[in-house]
């Protein structure tokens, strides 16, 4: 059963999951095709148990899905598109650009007064 998260909680979980380089690597690898937990563990030089923890974190955010095929747990990219996360980053970038623009204007005015 998947819990419905508030937007802020979802952002927190997504950014937390993406903060780890191994998890970002898993997403990049799964972008090329599905892989088993064992294959992912071998690719990243870790135990299957360690890989299961990383995959579980990504699965909690909807970035990865898993399915059991016999004794093998297969992983694939999930349906989460990171739209809210991308929008948050874009809004932050716009704020930063606006602040830097105001700083540039202030410095230009200060230079003109000094001449």
For the CA atoms of the chain, what is the radius of gyration? Answer: 21
Structural domain count of the chain: 2
Q: Kindly give the interhelix angle for 48-61 and 21-31, rounded to the nearest 10 degrees.
A: 80
Q: What range defines the domain where residue 61 resides?
A: 8-79
Q: For residues 48 and 111, give the distance between their C-alpha atoms in angstroms, rounded to a whole number.
A: 61
Question: 88 and 71 in one domain?
Answer: no
Q: What is the CATH number of the domain that holds 75?
A: 1.10.10.10
Q: Are 76 and 30 in contact (CB under 8 A)?
A: yes
This prediction has a pTM of 0.77
Q: Are 72 and 36 in contact (CB under 8 A)?
A: yes
Residue whose tokens read 């930063």: 96
Q: Are 64 and 76 in contact (CB under 8 A)?
A: yes
Question: 48 and 62 in one domain?
Answer: yes
Flag whether 2 is in a domain. no
- pLDDT tens digits, the chain, 115 residues: what are they? 455 668 788 899 999 999 999 999 999 999 999 999 999 999 999 999 999 999 999 999 999 999 999 999 999 999 888 888 999 999 999 999 999 988 988 898 888 777 7
Question: 65 and 86 in one domain?
Answer: no
């Amino acid at each position: 059963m998947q819990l419905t998260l508030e937007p802020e909680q979802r952002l927190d979980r997504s950014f937390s999951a993406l903060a780890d380089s191994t998890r970002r690597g898993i997403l990049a690898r799964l972008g090329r095709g599905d892989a088993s937990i064992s294959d992912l563990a071998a690719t990243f030089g870790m135990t299957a148990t360690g890989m299961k923890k990383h995959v579980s974190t990504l699965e909690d955010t909807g970035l990865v899905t898993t399915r059991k095929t016999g004794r093998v747990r297969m992983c694939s990219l999930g349906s989460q598109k990171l739209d809210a996360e991308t929008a948050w980053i874009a809004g932050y970038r716009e704020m930063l650009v606006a602040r830097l623009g105001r700083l540039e204007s202030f410095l230009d005015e200060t230079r003109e007064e000094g001449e």
